[in-house]
């Protein structure tokens, strides 16, 4: 029997200390690089985007690829590429951890549009606020104190 799956993941992670170092003029290159990593793992990238301090990935994973291994590979390979090619000179690395949320196929186009409108979206809401809303909507328990310690959002810290 053949295995069939259709599990969409909306994966979100930020830069180390959520520092806004991902220049939007080079974001397309970052997204293309990460899409290549996904394809090399037999995954299907549907939409990638983000803002100066984080990235969103909407993708279907190949059934043999554990999510945590894929995210680790994306972070390691993209971090190495960014630093080696000096794509984002102030980039020091990705945050520890990530958020991953499953999406129904019926909302795929809505999630793609949401990801495409990140610059517009983040004129009204910080990454911290966005991420907390994702966690709350998904019913994920998190420690408010530990969560706040991991965020140094430039808009909220006055940088």
Range in 22-26, 117-121, 125-129, 152-156 with the lowest mean pLDDT: 152-156
Residues 42-74 have pLDDT tens digits of 999 999 999 999 999 999 999 999 999 999 999
The second-level CATH assignment, the architecture, of 8-157 is: 2-Layer Sandwich (3.30)
With the C-alpha atoms ordered 144, 149, 150, 153, is the resulting torsion angle positive or negative?
positive
Domain boundaries, the chain: 8-157
What does the alpha-carbon distance between residue 99 and residue 140 come to, in Å, rounded to a whole number? 10
pLDDT confidence of residue 4: 85
Q: Can you tell me whether residue 36 is helix, strand or coil?
A: helix
Q: What is the pLDDT of residue 142?
A: 79
Helices 67-84 and 27-40 sit at what angle, rounded to 10 degrees? 140
Q: What pLDDT digit, counting tens, does each position of 67-108 carry?
A: 999 999 999 999 999 999 999 999 999 999 999 999 999 999
* pTM to 2 decimal places: 0.89
Considering only residues 2 and 80, tell me which one the structure prediction assigns the higher pLDDT.
80
Q: Which of 74, 21, 84, 66 is nearest to 48 (CA)?
A: 74
Residue 16 predicted with pLDDT over 50: yes
pLDDT tens digit sequence for 123-133: 898 888 888 88
Q: Where are the alpha helices (DSSP H) in 85-153?
A: 108-116, 118-121, 127-137, 144-149
pLDDT at site 87: 96
Of residues 132, 124, 133, the one with CA closest to residue 155: 124
**137: which 2 tokens?**
């909507």
């Amino acid at each position: 029997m053949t295995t069939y799956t259709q599990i969409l993941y909306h994966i979100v992670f930020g830069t180390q200390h959520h520092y806004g170092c991902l220049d939007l003029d080079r974001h397309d290159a970052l997204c293309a690089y990460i899409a290549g990593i996904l394809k090399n793992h037999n995954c299907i990238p549907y939409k990638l985007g983000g803002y100066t301090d984080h990235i969103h990935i909407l993708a279907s994973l190949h059934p043999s690829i554990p999510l945590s291994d894929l995210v680790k590979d994306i972070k390691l390979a993209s971090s190495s590429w960014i630093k080696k090619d000096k794509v984002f000179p102030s980039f020091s690395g990705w945050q520890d951890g990530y958020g991953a949320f499953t999406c129904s196929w019926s909302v795929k186009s809505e999630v793609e549009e949401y990801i495409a409108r990140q610059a517009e979206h983040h004129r009204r809401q910080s990454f911290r606020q966005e991420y907390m809303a994702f966690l709350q909507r998904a019913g994920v328990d998190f420690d408010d104190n530990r969560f706040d310690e991991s965020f140094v959002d430039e808009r909220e810290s006055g940088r």
